[in-house]
Structure 1
Amino acid sequence: MAEPGSLLQTAVVFLLAAVLIVPLAKRLQLGAVLGYLLAGVLIGPAALRLVDDPQSVSHISELGVVLLLFIIGLELSPRRLWVMRKSVFGVGMAQVLLTGLVIGAVAMFGFAQPLKTALVLGLGLALSSTAFGLQLLAERKELTSPHGRLAFAILLFQDIAAIPLIALVPLLSSTGTAPDAGSDLGQLFKVLGSIGLVVIGGRYLLRPVFRIVAKTGLREVSTATALLVVIGTAWLMELAGISMALGAFLAGLLLADSEYRHELESQIEPFKGLLLGLFFISVGMTADIRLLFAQPVLVLGLTALLILLKLPLLVLLGRLPGGLGAHSALRLGVVLAAGGEFAFVVFQMAREQGLFEPRLHSLLVLVITLSMAVTPLLVLLVARLCKVKEQPREVPAEYREIDSDAPRVVIAGMGRMGQMVARVLRAQRVPFIALDTEVDTIELSRSLGRMPIFYGDPLRPEILHAAKTEQAEYFIVATDDPEISLKTTELVRRLYPHLKVIARARNRQHVHHLLDAGALPIRETFHSSLEMSRQVLLGLGLDEAQANQRIKRFQRHDEEVLEAQHRVYNDKAAVLQTAREARTELETLFDADSSEAPPQA
């Protein structure tokens, strides 16, 4: 047993490595998973040797995987799966089976691996990183794009497929020359009984228990109950001889539609994140980085082989059953071509069960880590190539042909703010023309009524001319991109100096730039924030007149401060000084209001 001092030292080393390396990896857009793996490599036996025994934390770190699968179960409500059934169980299942078959065949016939090892290897490498892939898509704002939605569906099925795969590993590792039918039948009943106990308990016991615990109002008891459910079902499954993760997943699935789902998720999430990070660090510690220096051709060649095997299959599935365009399918393939975190879980179990030799396991961990490391670079490369070559979606002729009477107002951008302005103008029968570069947005806006909305980039002078901008009185810049908004304002003011330009402003700095360009900036969240504040004041006891007076005073004061800051906004010290003086002045004004008319009780 380790000494208390060594345990504390190990904990300090792990936490210090995570605190230093993971933020750096995220800043470099490599993702938290890769940061944890890199931290494990650095502190492990292959590098600095700050922790010599990776197995010393393996049992605790496995709880991270258990909690992860519980969270996945919570998110997989049957209703949600049914809505996405075609993408999840169609394309997702095809991807896992086809990719697993191809990689398994290459492992078996190309590298002479046994059938069981090749099966686990193929299916494990068919899985991609959910955390890594979704993070990349979110950072690039592509989660709602066609390839982003399909990637989410595929990752969802992979998360589901990981459960039986984790349960399959111990079954494949069982050895024996003459199987005992009675023993096998007893084990089967044991497994079925355990699953039945979890299902029945989850349906009839968990909700009443959580209801009783919730009435106590003690958050720590509620958290302890959530952990008891997860770890208890995992322990029960382990007693039955199957995966702990399967029990946690079933518990989550049974509570997916309960009223306590979000509360459970918020209570488990911190433990899951910390323990899962510990798991990835322990995996990184087992990665033999010396292999990369000893056999660089082999390691880099296997990394390239993994990506080259998965990428064409993902592109093919994205094109045919997924219905994506060529470039969208390529983006899908690049995001999902690397290995994933569940492969670490599966391969760690395979090593412990004797299916993988230690050297094979180290090689696979290193290959998956490298494949994840190069993925952000490949995503950037493909995005740049697609930006040059990709043709936009075919725009119907009626969207391109700008045909309208002379407008009094031209709107650039038909997002949330543009649509609101258009609806008001239409209600007042004010003639206007709206421009947008998203076909889907134009279709949606036109479906709400026959509005004069056309396809066109307001940064092109010929489009502005076709929209008869010179005959308008107002030009509304409602685009959500600050840079495009500023460029549009500058172009319109240069070509049509008589026009009054009203522009959507993202923040105070954007306001200053728009003022310089000659536009009237409207802060997109300012007025809604004032209304929220007014409602709070009313709820806290002020009457209507008092609340309105305070809000108007704040608004007037803030606008005066903004005007003063505009004169010095390039001088950071002057802006900070102005903000400090304004805060003091505002407090004085509100104190005066309070002394004149105290809030009602």
Structure 2
Amino acid sequence: MDFSFFNQLLIIFSLSVVCIAVFHRLRISDTLAYLVVGLILGPTATGFIDSSFDISLLAEIGVVFLLFSLGLEFSLSNMLAMRRVVFGLGGLQVLISTVLIGFCGLLLGFSHAGALVMAAGLSLSSTAIVSKELSRRNEIRSDHGQLAIGTLIFQDIAAVFFLILVPAVGGFGESGLAMSLIISLAKGSLFVVFMLMIGRWVMPKIFHEIARARSEELFVLTAIVVALLAAWLTHLLSLSMALGGFVAGMMLGESHYRHQVEADIRPFRDILLGLFFVSIGLMLDLDQFLSQWHLILLASAGLILFKAVLISQLSYFVFPDRKAAIRTGLSLAQGGEFCFALVALAANNQFLSASTSSLILSVTIVSMAVTPLLIRYSETIAERLTGERKKRPTMISSADRIRQETETMDNHILICGYGRVGQAISRFLDKESLPFAVLDDDPVHVREATRASMPVFYGDCQRLELLEAAGLKRARLVAICINNSRNAHAALKKIRSVNADIPILVRTRDDAMMDTLKRDGATEVFPEVLESSLLIISHVLHLLGHNKLAVAQRIDAVRRQHYNILHGSFFGTSEALHDLDGNPQQFLHAVTLPEKAYAVGKRLSEIPLDKTGVHIQKLTRDNDSVPLCNDPSLHSDDVVLINGTPEQIEHAETVLLSGQ
């Protein structure tokens, strides 16, 4: 069996692990990490990956999954609503870019066919990079994100047109240019109609049956098959596979299963998309780059500047917001992956020489490589160019403004965080006519709340000057309702540094940082998951006929004991070792003591479990519970139920069994 493909794929993944870990530490995009992997391993650098290695199919499937995910966000009704952006902005951008770049190509001595290929390739942007970066930064739904995605949708349609046009210009093919275009347009239209009919009448029934089966594997497999089947159909029709993935996503975008589908397909998409970026890095001719680096960098800078200015101006014409227009231009200023297909097609038909093709590819790759940085700093660049700082209409962001709005407040409640819990608290306080002020760093929350005349101010709850501006020293009580436990802990420490006496209530998602928060000054900590459990428990006991007063006393006792009985849960296949904030989860683990275990014959107090950080929840002997309050001796076959993080549990189990 030939393992050469496997060996080279293993090298790619291994180096990707290292590069992504390093780039994450440096806060640099994963996209650049994959490009660097391809560059390092390429045949003109280290040569670990030879020129015969081909991962183009896997890479193209990654792009299909990416477009499939984007299609889930853009239903047919959404597309019709965006037709001015898709066909107006997108159409003008492709047309003007192609004409101007093609004219420059003719001035440089290119043939008509060669100038067309270069112009068509460079007029298109990278759907893969732009959509991935906008998704990663949660900017798909922003103004510039909508403008960019709408333009990219038209570019993908135009790419199909160019892939037909280039060979037709070359004079081969059984039909003329006009007939080729008409046939392709007809095939594309029939495909879209067919897929939308399937999506409306067939797919909902299929996914409903799959959902009833309650099989995650079946659901994931069906989503993958739908995406790949659509891509296969478009390939069969000589259209773009990526276009098939996008239409398949649109087909499911109308259903209420789209969020689950997107979540399930994401791991496959990201890994295969990484291979796509590696394949781009592999294409860079390092020898030519080193010999002509000044020309390549100059041409890349020229391309980026030209497209950024043109797209910014066109975007402003469609959507008159200068900052959004500039950010759209910066996001789409690079060359795209379709340029590689067009250049390869031109090389096969001898429209471009090998050196010219390599030069165009190098310019495209360099422009794609800097795109994550352009998108990352697009807001700062737009602010510098427009001379405007970040504007949030109806939003209060400065300490002085907050101070002016809250100067008449005294003995009020200060709420940190305006998520679901913070909003619930504020509504009750408002109904009781109790004064309160809220700090939140979500601009959408603040904008919507201020429109409703709620005293909600934009600001980071970890900044002491903003807390003091909101009247911290005059406040009666502070409620911290921040989702991220680490940020809540940081806000708590800031508040305690200036006010040691004020009551502070902290809401957390779970009990991961409960002890830390209590130690650092929280008056009470309310883990949301545990509180909801207590609510259900109280209802269960009421329905079983228990006295309401006795139930209330039992629930209060659990709270006074800091929820000890509820800490941790048994690990299962759906459990994660860390919560959403990156904190280690608390789990329950039962340790059965064999006859030769270190703990056998010793009392609990004699075993140094306190050093491990675990809590003993229960001791079972012959299926009966042994009271812990009597400091019992441990026997062989006793079962000790402990609670702690995975690391603490591992340490405690070692102590119980071997004493180390």
TM-score with structure 2 setting the length? 0.67
Does structure 2 retain, via aligned residues, the 8 Å contact 1:58–1:279?
A: yes
Moved more, 423-432 or 373-382: 373-382
Residue identity opposite 1:169 in structure 2 = L
Q: CA deviation at 1:300?
A: 1.6
Mapped pair 1:500 → 2:532: no
Q: How many residues align?
A: 572
The answer for the alignment partner of 1:421 in structure 2 is 425
- For residues 387-426 of structure 1, the C-alpha deviation after alignment (integer angstroms, 9 at most, x for no partner) is 8975353668998743775532142546224332221212
What is the alpha-carbon distance in structure 2 between the residues aligned to residue 456 and residue 311 of structure 1? 32
The answer for the alignment partner of 1:409 in structure 2 is 412
1:108–1:98: structure 2 CA closer, same or farther, 3 Å change rule?
Answer: same
1:104–1:190: structure 2 CA closer, same or farther, 3 Å change rule?
Answer: closer
Mapped pair 1:368 → 2:364: yes
Residue identity opposite 1:520 in structure 2 = T
Mapped pair 1:292 → 2:286: no
The answer for the alignment partner of 2:35 in structure 1 is 37
Q: CA deviation at 1:430?
A: 2.0
TM-score with structure 1 setting the length? 0.72
Q: CA deviation at 1:307?
A: 2.2
1:487–1:337: structure 2 CA closer, same or farther, 3 Å change rule?
Answer: same
1:521–1:118: structure 2 CA closer, same or farther, 3 Å change rule?
Answer: farther
Structure number with the bigger relative contact order (C-alpha 8 A, sep ≥ 6) is 1
Provide the secondary structure at the position in 2 that maps to 1:411: strand
Residue identity opposite 1:286 in structure 2 = M
1:200–1:64: structure 2 CA closer, same or farther, 3 Å change rule?
Answer: same
Q: Which structure 2 segments of 5+ residues have no match?
A: 568-583, 585-607, 628-660
Counterpart selection for 1:337 from 318, 333, 339: 333
Does structure 1 retain, via aligned residues, the 8 Å contact 2:479–2:505?
A: yes
Mapped pair 1:474 → 2:474: no
Residue identity opposite 2:532 in structure 1 = E
Mapped pair 1:166 → 2:160: yes
Counterpart selection for 2:434 from 430, 450, 454: 430
Mapped pair 1:531 → 2:525: no
Does structure 2 retain, via aligned residues, the 8 Å contact 1:291–1:299?
A: no
What is the alpha-carbon distance in structure 1 between the residues aligned to residue 164 and residue 478 of structure 2? 67
What is the alpha-carbon distance in structure 2 between the residues aligned to residue 367 and residue 585 of structure 1? 64
1:549–1:372: structure 2 CA closer, same or farther, 3 Å change rule?
Answer: farther
What is the alpha-carbon distance in structure 2 between the residues aligned to residue 473 and residue 283 of structure 1? 59
What is the alpha-carbon distance in structure 2 between the residues aligned to residue 344 and residue 551 of structure 1? 66
Moved more, 169-178 or 507-516: 507-516
Mapped pair 1:445 → 2:449: yes
1:374–1:172: structure 2 CA closer, same or farther, 3 Å change rule?
Answer: closer
The answer for the alignment partner of 1:309 in structure 2 is 306
Structure-to-structure mapping, 1:539-558, within 5 angstroms: none
Which structure has greater helix proportion? 1
1:137–1:559: structure 2 CA closer, same or farther, 3 Å change rule?
Answer: farther
Does structure 2 retain, via aligned residues, the 8 Å contact 1:44–1:284?
A: yes
1:483–1:403: structure 2 CA closer, same or farther, 3 Å change rule?
Answer: same
The answer for the alignment partner of 1:582 in structure 2 is 614
What is the alpha-carbon distance in structure 2 between the residues aligned to residue 44 and residue 93 of structure 1? 36
The answer for the alignment partner of 1:125 in structure 2 is 122
1:180–1:22: structure 2 CA closer, same or farther, 3 Å change rule?
Answer: same
Provide the secondary structure at the position in 2 that maps to 1:429: coil
1:360–1:34: structure 2 CA closer, same or farther, 3 Å change rule?
Answer: farther
Q: CA deviation at 1:172?
A: 1.9
The answer for the alignment partner of 1:150 in structure 2 is 144
What is the alpha-carbon distance in structure 1 between the residues aligned to residue 196 and residue 377 of structure 2? 47
1:461–1:298: structure 2 CA closer, same or farther, 3 Å change rule?
Answer: closer
Structure-to-structure mapping, 1:67-466, within 5 angstroms: 67-109=65-107, 111-137=108-134, 148-175=142-169, 185=179, 188-189=182-183, 192=186, 196=190, 199-200=193-194, 203=197, 208=202, 211=205, 234=231, 237-238=234-235, 240-257=237-254, 272-317=269-314, 319=316, 321-326=318-323, 330-352=326-348, 354-378=350-374, 390-393=388-391, 401-402=404-405, 406-413=409-416, 415-416=418-419, 417-434=421-438, 441-448=445-452, 450-453=453-456, 464=468
What is the alpha-carbon distance in structure 2 between the residues aligned to residue 475 and residue 209 of structure 1? 50
1:184–1:464: structure 2 CA closer, same or farther, 3 Å change rule?
Answer: closer
Does structure 1 retain, via aligned residues, the 8 Å contact 2:482–2:488?
A: yes
The answer for the alignment partner of 1:598 in structure 2 is none
Does structure 1 retain, via aligned residues, the 8 Å contact 2:93–2:310?
A: yes
1:128–1:453: structure 2 CA closer, same or farther, 3 Å change rule?
Answer: same
Does structure 2 retain, via aligned residues, the 8 Å contact 1:412–1:479?
A: no
- For residues 70-120 of structure 1, the C-alpha deviation after alignment (integer angstroms, 9 at most, x for no partner) is 5544443112224445555555555444445544444443x3434444444
Does structure 1 retain, via aligned residues, the 8 Å contact 2:417–2:438?
A: yes
Does structure 1 retain, via aligned residues, the 8 Å contact 2:311–2:325?
A: yes
1:533–1:19: structure 2 CA closer, same or farther, 3 Å change rule?
Answer: farther
The answer for the alignment partner of 1:567 in structure 2 is none
Q: CA deviation at 1:530?
A: 4.0
Moved more, 336-345 or 395-404: 395-404
Residue identity opposite 2:197 in structure 1 = R
Residue identity opposite 2:358 in structure 1 = S
Q: CA deviation at 1:366?
A: 2.7
Structure-to-structure mapping, 1:37-76, within 5 angstroms: 37-54=35-52, 56-59=54-57, 61-76=59-74
Q: CA deviation at 1:304?
A: 1.8
RMSD: 5.3
Provide the secondary structure at the position in 2 that maps to 1:4: coil
Provide the secondary structure at the position in 1 that maps to 2:614: helix
Q: CA deviation at 1:158?
A: 0.3
Structure-to-structure mapping, 1:583-598, within 5 angstroms: 583-585=615-617, 592=625
Residue identity opposite 2:78 in structure 1 = R
